[in-house]
Amino acid sequence: MKTKLKKLAPSNWGQLLQNAKTTWQYGGIKGIYRKGYYLIGKPYRQYVKQQEQSDQNRESQAEIAQFQVTPTISILTPTYKVPLELLAACADSIQQQSYPHWQWCLVDDGSNDASLTEALQQLAAQDERISLMIMSENQGISAATNQALALAQGDYVALVDNDDTLAPHALLEIVHVLQDQAVDWVYSDEDMISPSGEYINPDFKPDWSPQTLLSRMYTNHLTVYRKSLVEKIGGFRSEFDGCQDYDVALRISALQPKVVHIPKVLYHWRMAEQSIATSIETKPYIIERAQKAIQEHLHKRGYDADIRQHGALLMYDLDIAVKEKPSVSIIIPTRDHFTDVQQCVTSIMKYAGWDQFEIILVDNQSSLQQRQQFEQLAQEVKQLRIITADYAFNYSKLNNQAVVTSDADYILLLNNDTIWTEENTLRRLLGIAQLPEVGAVGCRLLYPDQTIQHAGVILGYHEVAGHSGVGLAAEAPGHYGRNVSLYNYSAVTAACLLVKREYYQAVGGLDERFQVAYNDVDFCLKLHRQGWYNVNVGSVSMIHAESKSRGHDSLQSQRYQQECQLMFEKWQSLIQNDPYYNPNYSKQVGEMYKLKTR
């Protein structure tokens, strides 16, 4: 049974998918966008009902009694001509919080509305935890939020809009996390309140993902910061009004805070008429200001970048200029398949967009005729050199052997059946890989029929790990744009994997016990363990026939089973709990990014 909601102004997601005449998937819920309506199925309503029942059964006072610390959380809420019934709903959700140690800092930004002023004054009179300031003139949301920050007495501040609501245990969940007093920043999952009052469009988020934050303001609501960090960066800036929260998040991220994600919906974002929850078209200036915020953030780190909105989506493509002139060794293992290798090498020469590279062809027992063809190709392509690997196929060993012969700054692992099709492919990947916190960098890989073969790797899917986006159309944005933009993943495929040579060596290269399967996943998890973030650059793509020269490793083969077992021995906890794949999502085959059945 489906519920038809009130007609909405088409969101950018809806417009994109409507143009594609397809179903959409948003927050794990499938639906159809047709003629300006959202049609929502039952799963999320059931999820909310179960969560509410669970919350009602909690003994919150007993939980609080066990806390070692009970910090005051100051809630910052600017108001401006908010409808009284929406303000009342917001107020109820705060005053009914199960955690009592909060302060609500209300600042009216020059609404000059007598009834709103009276309502705010009544709220302040009812509860001594409410601090109120009425500004005589409208100064904008950043200025008003800074006034609220000045009123704040707590060690932590929470950002809540004047027409949104909190889940009853939102602050209690936050304080659970803050028992670790080193935590600086907490964010939760969220959903939206439709015009008819239903909770829809849940955003189940990944754990801390600093490169994802460069492509979109994914942390959003509910966000709680250590107040001293907000003060250290100088608070909110009026020139970023409309995306002031994104600007603050980027600037605080530069301080290397300890960030914790709570995978629960603690915040309900109202789809008000003038909110970007309804459509970015309500505030088009946000795009330019967000681009400026990202650009400034990178510039302060010493990087120049071209920032562009990604199509109709509220997210951004980054083209970061590569500093200095780092060298790259592109390693291509092969056995025969001269035609594929030639096509791959030719495409690299045409589309790399970078001249400081060599290509190392690792010849693994090719026929004499094919070897002669490779040697002829090397005479024609001066950047190409050949090394011989005269032993049984072992993908990890082949690449490790090639790396030993390289003194390049970066290593690019590449399959022989890839074809580069876009300008500046290598340069754009280098732009991301040069960030010191970044480990492995991959890209979007497409089958020859222009469907997606790889847009990142999700742990625990297909036993050990599976590719995100498989089978979708090349232009499909995927879940919250993951297919086509910059996103953190636990791993990326070695069919195209760029990494600093220093990092490759620091983790011991590819584990040669993984002869065929999961050597790339294991490698990426070793980088993750060292504190480096793996990234897929979805705005860069290439063609990949996938295992064309070797064939697919049988899922039933003894070797595959042994390599699966080894992965579980090394990484069972991560496989079961991928930090970049929300635990509310299913890992059943065919149900990627769908709400988990409870």
Which letter does DSSP use for residue 330 in this model? E
CATH architecture, domain 328-576:
Alpha-Beta Complex (3.90)
Q: Please give the Cα distance from 259 to 185 (Å, whole number).
A: 5
Q: Please give the Cα distance from 476 to 461 (Å, whole number).
A: 21
- Tell me, letter by letter, the H, E, C secondary structure of 85-128: HHHHHHHHHHHCCCCCCEEEEEEEECCCCHHHHHHHHHHHHHCC
Contact 52, 135 (CB under 8 A): no
Q: Please give the Cα distance from 237 to 230 (Å, whole number).
A: 11
Q: How far is CA 344 from CA 187, 371, 381, in A?
A: 43, 16, 12
Contact 24, 17 (CB under 8 A): yes
Q: Please give the Cα distance from 420 to 539 (Å, whole number).
A: 13
C-beta neighbour count of 428 within 10 angstroms? 23
Indicate the pairing of strand 357-363 with strand 328-334.
parallel
Contacts of 436 (CB under 8 A, 6+ apart): none
DSSP per residue over 410-470, as a string? EEEEE-TTEEE-STTHHHHHHHHHTSTTEEEEEEEEE-TTSBEEES-EEETSSTTEEETTT
Please state which CATH number belongs to domain 45-303. 3.90.550.10
For residue 404, what are its two tokens?
Answer: 């030993």
Contact 374, 341 (CB under 8 A): yes
| Residue 584 φ then ψ, to 5° | -75, -10
For residue 277, what are its two tokens?
Answer: 């929850």
Q: Please give the Cα distance from 447 to 543 (Å, whole number).
A: 6
Q: What is the pLDDT of residue 596?
A: 83
Beta strand extents in 237-302 (DSSP E only) = 259-270
Tell how many helices (H) and how many strands (E) occur in the chain. 18, 27
Measured in whole angstroms, the distance separating CA 488 from the mean position of its chain's CA atoms is: 5
Contact 17, 33 (CB under 8 A): yes
Q: Torsion angle of alpha carbons 93, 237, 71, 178, nearest 10°?
A: 90
* Averaged pLDDT in 10-residue chunks for the chain of 598 residues: 30 34 35 32 78 84 95 98 96 96 98 96 96 96 98 98 96 98 97 89 95 96 97 97 97 98 96 57 79 97 93 86 97 97 98 98 97 97 97 97 98 98 98 98 96 96 92 90 94 98 98 96 98 97 74 63 95 97 92 82
Q: What is the pLDDT of residue 555?
A: 47
328-576 shares the fold of 45-303: yes
The greatest distance separating any two alpha carbons of the chain, rounded to the nearest whole angstrom, comes to 90
Structural domain boundaries in the chain: 3-41, 45-303, 328-576
C-beta neighbour count of 339 within 10 angstroms? 10
Q: What is the pLDDT of residue 21?
A: 33
Question: Which of 210, 203, 252 lies closest to 227 in space, CA to CA?
Answer: 252
Contact 411, 359 (CB under 8 A): no
